[in-house]
Amino acid sequence: MSIKKKYKGVIFDLDGTLLNTLGVYTHIINMLMKKNNFPTHTIENYREFIGNGTKNLITRSIPEKYREEKLIDKLLNEFRLLYENMYTQHTEVYIGVLDILDELQSSEIKLALLSNKFHDLTCKCANHFFPNIKFDAIIGQSDLYKKPDPKGALDISHSLKIPLDQLVLVGDTEVDIRTAKNAGIDSIAVTWGFRKEEDLITLSPDCIIKNSNDLKKYFSNHTEIIRFTDENCV
């Protein structure tokens, strides 16, 4: 048996959901680690570090005994400058994502981005990697917004004039699922990003999706998501 629920808007996380940015983060953070004579990390290490914003990523990358606020802020500023020049490198759109966005856009579903990447960099990435997609709202991290605080999702609901029960958030980490729960909206967790499926299951998202084809099926008919009571959902 399936339950059909219509949505008028979809909020997407960016890193790990639409874009594979592990390569660029690994490259830049390791540059900073080498510059400061700190040990570097593997791409799998950074997969675990990512999720709570760039400051947290840098903090976790630094050896614990050197984690002082002054150094962290210094590296954060250096990271931002490097990323502004390199955000198009070592980064790729996940397979099938563009098709999904195109179909949703053509069906007049409102699209939004909610990211813990700095706001200006979130906008740059959206414009570069998705030039033909019109996101109706884009919110990156700032003094006002940082997931899992629900303010971003709530403000998207308000600005797009879409009730919370007609919005769904698609993301790949515990931060995204908690954001959705805090905002009172549905959540879809995807497993192609920065977290393993077993880690996502413990957070009880409304559904877990393993590949873009399955996500496309969820958005079939463009105006509804079909939520099955089988092994694809938790």
Q: How many CB atoms lie within 10 A of CB 225?
A: 21
**Rounded to whole angstroms, how far apart are CA atoms 114 and 67?**
28
Please report the pLDDT score of residue 6 as a whole number.
Answer: 82
- Tens digit of each residue's pLDDT, the chain (234 residues): 344 568 899 999 999 999 999 999 999 999 999 999 999 999 999 988 987 789 999 999 999 999 999 999 999 999 999 999 999 999 999 999 999 999 999 988 999 999 999 999 999 999 999 999 999 999 999 999 999 999 999 999 999 999 999 999 999 999 999 999 999 999 999 999 999 899 999 999 999 999 999 999 888 743 454 333 344 443
Q: What is the DSSP letter of 165?
A: G
In this structure, which amino acid lies at residue 169? L
CA distances from 34 to 20, 85, 215 (A): 23, 19, 39
**Rounded to whole angstroms, how far apart are CA atoms 114 and 152?**
7
Please report the pLDDT score of residue 50 as a whole number.
Answer: 87
**Rounded to whole angstroms, how far apart are CA atoms 153 and 218?**
21
Please report the pLDDT score of residue 4 as a whole number.
Answer: 55
Q: Is the peptide bond before 163 cis (omega within 30 degrees of 0)?
A: no
Q: Give the 3-state secondary structure of residue 172.
A: coil
Please report the pLDDT score of residue 234 as a whole number.
Answer: 38
